[in-house]
Amino acid sequence: MTAQPHSGDCFINGKWVPGDGAPFQKTCPANGEVVWTGRAASAAQTRQAVEAARTAFDAWGRTKLATRQAVLERYTEELRLRKEAMALAISRDMGKLLKEAGIEVDTMVAKIAVSIKAQADRAGEHSLPVDFGHLDLTHRPHGVMAVFGPYNFPGHLPNGHIVPALLPGNTCVFKASELAPSVAPLMMDAFQAAGLPPGCINLLQGGRDTGADLLAADINGLLFTGSEHTGRMFHRYFAGRPEVILALEMGGNNPLIIWEPTDVEAATDIAIQSAYLTTGQRCSCARRLILPKGRFGDQVVESIAERARHLAVGPWNDDTAFMGPLVSAHAAAQAVTFQNKLIAEGARAILPLEQKDENLGFVSPGLIDMSGAAPMDEEMFGPLLQVYRAGDLDQAIALANATRFGLAGGLVCDDLPTWELVKSRLRAGILNLNKPTVGASGQMPFGGPGASGNFRPGAYYAADYCAWPQASQVA
């Protein structure tokens, strides 16, 4: 059964309204149950949402920062009150294990304090006395920010754009992912209960057509986390329009180098977490494993294969499961197709990724030897780890950098000189030592060069793209 507490699909200017666009529904990838049904926003409703945000911007942007901050601090408490409902919505929509969905909501809560600190540190007000006056630095909001939410963290990731945008005085129009529509209404409830004025946050449901309508509207910025393909389309769309701020985080083809640590089991743990956590549906997941040629590399592969073979796969409410389903049966079929392409190019499946049921999203973890295949520099959003072998560390680093992406990477080793060498040469915005590639800290910037985005990192640095500096000389 569906669990929709509102009479409308979209939240525009502080009111719930039915969508006037095409009908759509979302089924749970763990059991096929319909968990959300409704209609997308029409083009007219999208314009109304942007107009509402535009109208609200005039007052919200002039509100004292302390007042805006107080609203968002109350929002923190409202999220806490809704934790159980939000975690359930996330799990039922995209299949994420309930324990992981609860952590996602906790992260949403914790991130707000980080955003408040970042606003003060990176986009605050400063005054410097000089001869015959002083220099003032202030930061001002852009205007109306369009936020496109991804399905893999449907609460946390859009929230990581929305809160930093609201803090300096922007208003937002949020298009939730059509693959995970259920948590966004709960976020709107929390904002409304916190006292955010009408029009400051608006919610549109829908897919590609709704997104296209929002792009064509009178927006001042686009904040996006998602696939490279979609991000490139957005970049092309706004080519020649520097007045529209773009913050694009577009994933990666992330390497994990394991270079002869003494503890193979510990290295295996790191590889398993990096590749298979959240069923591989994190943009920071390791997609490529780089090992030295020879017996040590063989041991690591054998250890990972044995561990992965016995990983528990189950529905979101299975407390014993390590992996849930992918977001849809279609996503599961795409993962199998990607693996088959690699095999057709000469790769060998050590542990094949298999779809358990063509009508559901469950897949088994995959491990594939790429020794005889040409690399495919694509992000496959699922639990498939590609194994590469290097003759020496220089070759390992070259293999790691053999990608147009640059989001995340990791190294497992025992000695500091190896780390310092890899750190100085590996092209990755997030680079971890002896830790999984996943689980980046919100207190640090999140993003990477190359095809991973336009290098406007999120998390702690989100304040940078949500306000523009105004420098004044005052006599």
| pLDDT tens by residue, 173-186 | 999 999 999 999 99
The answer to whether residue 150 sits within a structural domain is yes
Q: Do 271 and 164 share a domain, yes or no?
A: no
Computed on alpha carbons and rounded to an integer, the radius of gyration of the chain in Å comes to: 23
Please answer whether residues 364 and 356 qualify as being in contact, where contact means their C-beta atoms are separated by less than 8 angstroms. Answer: yes
**β-bridge pairing 10-12 and 15-17:** antiparallel
Mean local confidence (pLDDT), 291-300: 97
Q: What is the pLDDT of residue 69?
A: 97
Q: Rounded distance, CA 352 to CA 449, Å?
A: 31
Q: Rounded distance, CA 282 to CA 147, Å?
A: 19
Q: Pull the structure tokens for residue 118.
A: 């970042």
pTM here is 0.95
33 part of the active site: no
Q: Do 396 and 330 share a domain, yes or no?
A: yes
The answer to whether residue 447 sits within a structural domain is no
> If DSSP codes are grouped into helix, strand and coil, which group holds residue 30?
coil
Mean local confidence (pLDDT), 231-254: 95
Q: Do 236 and 260 share a domain, yes or no?
A: no
Q: Rounded distance, CA 114 to CA 443, Å?
A: 6
* pLDDT one-digit tens code per residue, 402-442: 999 999 999 999 999 999 999 999 999 999 999 999 978 88
Name 40's Cβ contacts closer than 8 Å, sequence gap at least 6.
9, 19, 21, 22, 23, 24, 178, 204, 205, 206, 207, 209, 210
**Residue 174 CB neighbours (<10 A):** 28
Least confident piece of the model among 35-49, 127-141, 265-279: 127-141
Please answer whether residues 300 and 387 qualify as being in contact, where contact means their C-beta atoms are separated by less than 8 angstroms. Answer: no
301: amino acid identity, one letter: V
Mean local confidence (pLDDT), 19-23: 96
Q: Do 161 and 192 share a domain, yes or no?
A: yes
Task: Identify the active-site residue in 249, 285, 379, 466.
Answer: 249
249 part of the active site: yes
The answer to whether residue 5 sits within a structural domain is no
Mean local confidence (pLDDT), 2-21: 84
* pLDDT one-digit tens code per residue, 330-386: 999 999 999 999 999 999 999 999 998 999 999 999 999 999 898 899 999 999 999
Q: What is the DSSP track for 371-410?
A: TTS--------SSEEEEEEESSHHHHHHHHT-SS--SEEE
Give the model's confidence band at 5: pLDDT under 50 very low, under 70 low, under 90 confident, else very high: low
Average pLDDT score over the chain = 95
Mean local confidence (pLDDT), 4-17: 86
The answer to whether residue 224 sits within a structural domain is yes
Q: Do 227 and 298 share a domain, yes or no?
A: no
Q: What is the DSSP track for 234-290?
A: HHHHTTT-TTSEEEEE----EEEEE---S-HHHHHHHHHHHHHGGGG-STTSEEEEE
User: Whole domain around residue 369: which residue ranges?
Assistant: 254-441
pLDDT at 391 over 60: yes
- 332: CATH: 3.40.309.10
Q: What is the pLDDT of residue 442?
A: 86
Mean local confidence (pLDDT), 63-74: 97
Number of structural domains (the chain) is 2
Q: Do 240 and 333 share a domain, yes or no?
A: no
Q: What is the pLDDT of residue 7?
A: 65
The answer to whether residue 4 sits within a structural domain is no
Q: Do 211 and 346 share a domain, yes or no?
A: no
Q: Do 126 and 229 share a domain, yes or no?
A: yes
Q: Do 271 and 210 share a domain, yes or no?
A: no
Q: What is the pLDDT of residue 1?
A: 41
Q: Do 334 and 280 share a domain, yes or no?
A: yes
Task: Identify the active-site residue in 200, 283, 413, 466.
Answer: 283
